[in-house]
Structure formats: structure tokens, C-alpha cells
């Protein structure tokens, strides 16, 4: 199946019938996100969206339901910090270990703790696609740099944690596949760690440029992200890779402060990005659409959302085919005017 998705937080359901909206737009996968920033109680933030009833309701309209969450506080509870500070990360920027970053994954006890807690969380946040997205802390210096961990890159420490999480989730859902998120400091290809066979790449090009297409060679910002996409895709396998984009992320384009602004991504740019992704063999694409609630649509209308859905239907059609590279190949290398 080609997956055409959208990622929302619980407040975005205010004043919008997203179930009918997604069904009409033929977006077939909803990702529910508990929010970015500081570590938090994922289940509390998700509220009713974490329930079996919620998932059943969306599924009855043909929409799959997944959870995309920064789950550090569930995977290694802060309550352990006082008795077991050595389980937590020692950042190279800090003098002592931090309860609000990730974990010391080379500590021999830690992988089993992550696995057990990931299994418990997966039992509550059942993904209807068997694909799970349980991420670490939402901060760049989240990874441990103790004597043992310091030989690994952030990408490798991330993958070591993901492997443990994947082992744990598989115990409660034998069909589980688990995302390794490429985000913030984790765009390098791991060299010292191999992914488990049920781990796939989730590529989230945060702080990429939206004036230029991802593969525009004239954009120095995006060159880094496009190279990372190709190298990571080759390492993990493109076909199973999940793209998490920001094209519709009003919260990002509003500087994470309301009032919500309309994302300035142009339809031509979106199509050229999709050409780059789908042309590389990608079948799973979603975008944050945080802040797209009833108030947003009253102020800005539905054009950005409708255009996004139409472009995804074009590049990732229902018959499962992929148009292949070059569907919107530019006449010149720099087809999308920038400023
Ligand atoms: Zn460590
Ligand atoms: Zn640029």
C-alpha cells in the first residue's frame, strides 16, 4: 500500500472533523503526535486519541492510525533517576547526567529496560499498521557521551536504543516494525551498529529549506539533507522508509506560537520534493499539520491541505504504483524559483 499521511496533535481536532476530511481527501494514514519540546507524559497528552475506540473509529473510515511520539519519559522513567542516575545520558555539554535527555544505552541494564517499557507503551498505543514511532527526547544533545558511549555517534546511539525498543515491541506485536528517526543530530549513516531486521528509517528533514526543493543543487542547506536522505535510504532500505515532512506544519511556520500562519510552501516545490522522494522508491509519506484546527481553516481556508492531498494522490496512487523519477523533472536544474 502507498501511504499518504498527515500528523496531528490532539488540540488540532478542535473545530475540525478530521475523520471525514481525511476520508474525502483520501489521505489514508493518521499519525497522532503528543507534541514536541520538553519530555512529557505521552499518554496524558494523547488523551482520548490513545484509545482503541478512537483507532476503530478512524479505521471504519478507511484511515490507519499510528502514533509518532517523543517517548523518553515512558521508555526510561525519570523516577529512576535518583536511584540509578547511571542509566541516563551524560551530555558532552554538561557536567553531570541529565534526567531530561535520553539514556546511557551502553549500560548493560538499559536495553532491557527500554525494551520492557516500549512493549508496555505499544500495548496501549497499538498501531493499526504495526508500525511504531517511539522517539527519544526532543533535544539535540540528548545522547550519552560517557566513557563507553563516546565512541558512538548520535546516530549510532539512537539506533542502539531503537534496536532495544524494536525487540521489546516485537514481543507484544510480532508483526511490529519500528522507526529509527533521522532528526536533529542523527543524519549520519551508522557505521558501528546494524539495524534489527524490523527497524526502518524515518527521515524527518527538520530545519531544511522550504524556498528550494529538497534536491535543488543550488541550495546549500538542502544539499546536506538530500545527501543524508540518499545515504540513509541506501543503508536502511528506501522501500520501507517513512518520510516525515513539515510542508503543512503551521506550528513550524508560525515559530511555534499562535496565531497560526499558513505554511509558505509552494505547490511546485511540493511536487518537486515528491518527485525526489517517490523517484527514489519511497512509498510512505506524511507531513506534520500541527495548528491546522478549526481556527486555522477559518483564517486560511483549506487550499494548502487540499493541494497536499492531491499531490500525494498523484505521486502515491491507490494502485500501489510509483511514478518513478522524473515525473516533474525540471527543464533547468533550478525549476522552482526561490525568492
Ligand atoms: Zn553512556
Ligand atoms: Zn534553500
Spell out the domain ranges in the chain: 3-315
Domain 3-315: CATH superfamily is Glycosidases (3.20.20.80)
pLDDT by residue for the chain (339 residues), tens only, comes to 899 999 999 999 999 999 999 999 999 999 999 999 999 999 999 999 999 999 999 999 999 999 999 999 999 999 999 999 999 999 888 889 999 999 999 999 999 999 999 999 999 999 999 999 999 999 999 999 999 999 999 999 999 999 999 999 999 999 999 999 999 999 999 999 999 999 999 999 999 999 999 999 999 999 999 999 999 999 999 999 999 999 999 999 999 999 999 999 999 999 999 999 999 999 999 999 999 999 999 999 999 999 999 999 999 999 887 766 566 655 444 455 554
Q: Which ligand is nearest to the CA of 220?
A: 2
Instruction: Extract the C-alpha cell encoding 74.
Output: 515512558
> ω into residue 259 within 30 of 0, thus cis?
yes
* Rounded alpha-carbon distances, angstroms, from residue 304 to 8, 202, 228, 235, 262: 15, 24, 27, 33, 8
Could you tell me the distance, in angstroms and rounded to a whole number, from the CA of residue 141 to the centre of ligand 1? Answer: 13
Q: Which ligand is nearest to the CA of 101?
A: 1
- Decide if 117 contacts 163 (C-beta within 8 A): no
In this prediction, residue 331 carries a pLDDT of 43
Query: How many residues in total does the chain contain?
Result: 339
Could you tell me the distance, in angstroms and rounded to a whole number, from the CA of residue 217 to the centre of ligand 2? Answer: 9
Could you tell me the distance, in angstroms and rounded to a whole number, from the CA of residue 110 to the centre of ligand 2? Answer: 40
Rounded CA separation 238/232 (Å): 8
Could you tell me the distance, in angstroms and rounded to a whole number, from the CA of residue 191 to the centre of ligand 1? Answer: 18
Could you tell me the distance, in angstroms and rounded to a whole number, from the CA of residue 159 to the centre of ligand 1? Answer: 14
Could you tell me the distance, in angstroms and rounded to a whole number, from the CA of residue 110 to the centre of ligand 1? Answer: 10
- Comparing C-alpha atoms, which of 295, 267, 281 is closest to residue 325? 281
Rounded CA separation 247/265 (Å): 6
- Decide if 320 contacts 2 (C-beta within 8 A): yes
Query: Which three-class secondary structure state does DSSP give residue 164?
Result: helix
Could you tell me the distance, in angstroms and rounded to a whole number, from the CA of residue 133 to the centre of ligand 2? Answer: 29
- Comparing C-alpha atoms, which of 299, 288, 222, 298 is closest to residue 251? 288
- Decide if 65 contacts 127 (C-beta within 8 A): yes
Could you tell me the distance, in angstroms and rounded to a whole number, from the CA of residue 1 to the centre of ligand 2? Answer: 32
Could you tell me the distance, in angstroms and rounded to a whole number, from the CA of residue 95 to the centre of ligand 1? Answer: 13
Q: Which ligand is nearest to the CA of 217?
A: 2
Q: Which ligand is nearest to the CA of 106?
A: 1
Could you tell me the distance, in angstroms and rounded to a whole number, from the CA of residue 197 to the centre of ligand 2? Answer: 35
* Rounded alpha-carbon distances, angstroms, from residue 188 to 88, 99, 215, 224, 299: 23, 25, 18, 10, 40
Amino acid at each position: 500500500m502507498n501511504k499518504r499521511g498527515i500528523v496531528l496533535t490532539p488540540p488540532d481536532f478542535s473545530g475540525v472533523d478530521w475523520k471525514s476530511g481525511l476520508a474525502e481527501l483520501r489521505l489514508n494514514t493518521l499519525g497522532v503526535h503528543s507534541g514536541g519540546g520538553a519530555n512529557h507524559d505521552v499518554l496524558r497528552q494523547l488523551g482520548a486519541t490513545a484509545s482503541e475506540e478512537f483507532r476503530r473509529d478512524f479505521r471504519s473510515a478507511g484511515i490507519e492510525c499510528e502514533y509518532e511520539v517523543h517517548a523518553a519519559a515512558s521508555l526510561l522513567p525519570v523516577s529512576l533517576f535518583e536511584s540509578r542516575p547511571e542509566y541516563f545520558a551524560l551530555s558532552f555539554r554538561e557536567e553531570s547526567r541529565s534526567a531530561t535527555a535520553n539514556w546511557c544505552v551502553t549500560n548493560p541494564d538499559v536495553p532491557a529496560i527500554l525494551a520492557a517499557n516500549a512493549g508496555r507503551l505499544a500495548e496501549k498505543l497499538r498501531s493499526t499498521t504495526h508500525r511504531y514511532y517511539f522517539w527519544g527526547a526532543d533535544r539535540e544533545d540528548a545522547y550519552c557521551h560517557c566513557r563507553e558511549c563516546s565512541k558512538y555517534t548520535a546516530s549510532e546511539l539512537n539506533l542502539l536504543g531503537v534496536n532495544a525498543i524494536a525487540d521489546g515491541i516485537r514481543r507484544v506485536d510480532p508483526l511490529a516494525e519500528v522507526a529509527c528517526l533521522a532528526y536533529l543530530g542523527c543524519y549520519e549513516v551508522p557505521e558501528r551498529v546494524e539495524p534489527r531486521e524490523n527497524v526502518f528509517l524515518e527521515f524527518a528533514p527538520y530545519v531544511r529549506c522550504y524556498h528550494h526543493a529538497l534536491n535543488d543543487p543550488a541550495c546549500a542547506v538542502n544539499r546536506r539533507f538530500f545527501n543524508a536522505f540518499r545515504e540513509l535510504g541506501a543503508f536502511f532500505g528506501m522501500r520501507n522508509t517513512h518520510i516525515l515532512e513539515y510542508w503543512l506544519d503551521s506550528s513550524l511556520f508560525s515559530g511555534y506560537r499562535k496565531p497560526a500562519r499558513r505554511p509558505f510552501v509552494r505547490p511546485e516545490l511540493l511536487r518537486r520534493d515528491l518527485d525526489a522522494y517517490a523517484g527514489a522508491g519511497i512509498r510512505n509519506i506524511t507531513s506534520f499539520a500541527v495548528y491546522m484546527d478549526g481556527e486555522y481553516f477559518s483564517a486560511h481556508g483549506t487550499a494548502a491541505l487540499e493541494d497536499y492531498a492531491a499531490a500525494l494522490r498523484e505521486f502515491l496512487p491507490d494502485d500501489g504504483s510509483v511514478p518513478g523519477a522524473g515525473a516533474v523533472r525540471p527543464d533547468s536544474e533550478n525549476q522552482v524559483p526561490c525568492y
